[in-house]
């Protein structure tokens, strides 16, 4: 993933536009920075015209075409390894058996051992093809079927495969914009954040025009995602939208973010949820306080305004005390 973001950043720099990351986000921590950037680059009198949108891929995992998945990921892997070779002369990836250790890039090949595997582009593509071609589901004791459309969500790498599959199309879209010197569109689409199959879009009225590859504009630029992935606009507002655990809302002429918990809204609010251990439990004191400090850290990243942070912290402490 670090190479994915670096490759995206390097491509945007070709037209003098700086972007540290791609659209992929690991959590909601980057949303406040998108909103802050929006406020800084929009005149106060025009902020009430900004539209926030959220999208959702309908049944992403089960609709992915496996042949297209193999082709797109093969091309992406070649691009990533080529980028790494050109920028740091590294050609091989050392993958440790121990999950607690991180992978590292190497310039020289080495033999696989019980502790590390040497992975190059061809080996990684071979592994992915084998994975995609050998997805089997068992029903009872007497029926085994091979899945020919979509990837099962229970596969331990399903999230990463789906994430990179969407990125491959997003990078193709960026590639054509840069080659066409469309700095205007690169800038407009920079306010996009995608968490697997959920997508957030800041002040981009043109997003619907470039949803799918089959859509082309008058200059021949095609859209982003394949047609077999259905992208639905779930929220569209000039006042407030929710994305992951963040509520993006406008207060007068300033866009802000604060914590959003869907369990506080219907229908989940009807359920009595015991979320935290009782203060009298046998957990260590350090663990109990760690729950509070970790949640406060999360609130601090999401809540732009001080009063929202204080209010969220007050409600949280009331629940756990």
Q: Report how far apart the first and last C-alpha atoms of the chain are (Å, whole number).
A: 40
C-beta neighbour count of 270 within 10 angstroms: 6
What are the φ/ψ torsions at residue 30 (nearest 5 degrees)? Answer: -85, -10
Q: How far apart are CA 218 and CA 209, in angstroms?
A: 11
Average pLDDT over residues 129-145: 89
pLDDT over 70 for what percent of the chain? Answer: 99
Q: How many CB atoms lie within 10 A of CB 314?
A: 10
Instruction: Tell whether the model's pLDDT for residue 77 goes beyond 90.
Output: yes
Question: Is the pLDDT at 22 greater than 70, yes or no?
Answer: yes
Contact call for residues 94 and 116 (beta carbons, < 8 A): yes
Tell me how far apart the alpha carbons of residues 3 and 268 are, in angstroms, rounded to a whole number: 39
pLDDT band at 126 (very low <50, low <70, confident <90, very high): very high
Integer CA distances (angstroms), 111 to 92, 94, 119, in order: 11, 10, 10
Of the ranges 6-15, 134-143, 156-165, 224-233, which one carries the lowest mean pLDDT score? 134-143
Q: In this predicted model, which residue has the larger pLDDT, 164 or 252?
A: 164
- pLDDT at residue 74 greater than cutoff 70: yes
Q: What is the pLDDT of residues 29-51, one digit of tens each?
A: 999 999 999 999 999 999 999 99
Residue 271 vs residue 219, higher pLDDT: 219
Q: Average pLDDT, whole number, for the chain?
A: 92
Encode 26-63 in three state secondary structure.
CCHHHHHHHHHHHHHCCCHHHHHHCCEEEEEEECHHHH
pLDDT at 271 over 80: no
Q: What is the pLDDT of residue 274?
A: 67
* Residue 320: per-residue pLDDT: 77
Q: Dmax of the chain from CA atoms?
A: 67
pLDDT digits (tens, 9 = 90+) for 203-251: 999 999 999 999 999 999 999 999 999 999 999 999 999 999 999 999 9
The pLDDT value recorded for residue 199 is 97
Q: Residue 36 CB: number of other CB atoms within 10 A?
A: 14
For the sheet with 92-96, list strands across it: 104-106, 92-96, 116-119
Cα–Cα dist 283/285, whole Å: 6
| Beta strands at 136-139 and 143-146: parallel, antiparallel or unpaired | antiparallel
SS3 (DSSP) at 237: strand
pLDDT at 91 over 70: yes
Please determine, for residue 272, whether its predicted confidence score (pLDDT) is greater than 80.
no
- Three-class SS of residue 250? strand
């Amino acid at each position: 993933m670090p190479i994915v973001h670096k490759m995206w950043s390097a491509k945007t720099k070709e037209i003098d536009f700086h972007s540290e990351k791609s659209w992929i986000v690991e959590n909601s921590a980057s949303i406040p920075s998108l909103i802050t950037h929006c406020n800084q680059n929009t005149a106060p009198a025009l902020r009430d015209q900004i539209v926030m949108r959220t999208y959702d891929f309908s049944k992403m995992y089960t609709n992915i075409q496996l042949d297209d998945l193999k082709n797109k990921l093969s091309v992406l892997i070649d691009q990533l390894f080529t980028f790494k070779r050109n920028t740091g002369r590294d050609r091989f990836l050392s993958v440790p058996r121990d999950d607690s250790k991180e992978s590292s890039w190497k310039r020289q090949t080495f033999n696989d051992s019980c502790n590390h595997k040497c992975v190059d582009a061809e080996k990684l593509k071979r592994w992915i093809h084998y994975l995609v071609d050998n997805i089997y589901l068992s029903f009872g004791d007497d029926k085994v079927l091979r899945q020919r459309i979509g990837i099962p969500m229970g596969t331990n790498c399903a999230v990463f495969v789906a994430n990179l599959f969407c990125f491959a199309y997003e990078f193709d879209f960026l590639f054509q914009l840069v080659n066409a010197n469309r700095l205007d569109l690169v800038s407009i689409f920079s306010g996009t954040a995608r968490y697997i199959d959920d997508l957030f879009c800041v002040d981009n009225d043109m997003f619907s025009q470039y949803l799918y590859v089959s859509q082309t504009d008058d200059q021949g630029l095609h859209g982003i995602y394949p047609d077999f992935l259905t992208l639905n606009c779930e929220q569209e507002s000039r006042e407030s939208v929710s994305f992951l655990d963040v509520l993006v809302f406008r207060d007068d002429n300033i866009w802000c973010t604060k914590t959003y918990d869907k369990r506080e809204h219907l229908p989940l609010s009807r359920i009595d949820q015991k979320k935290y251990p009782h203060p009298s439990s046998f957990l260590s004191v350090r663990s109990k306080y760690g729950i509070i400090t970790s949640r406060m850290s999360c609130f601090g990243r999401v809540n732009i305004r001080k009063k929202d942070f204080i209010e969220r912290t007050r409600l949280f402490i009331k629940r756990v005390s």
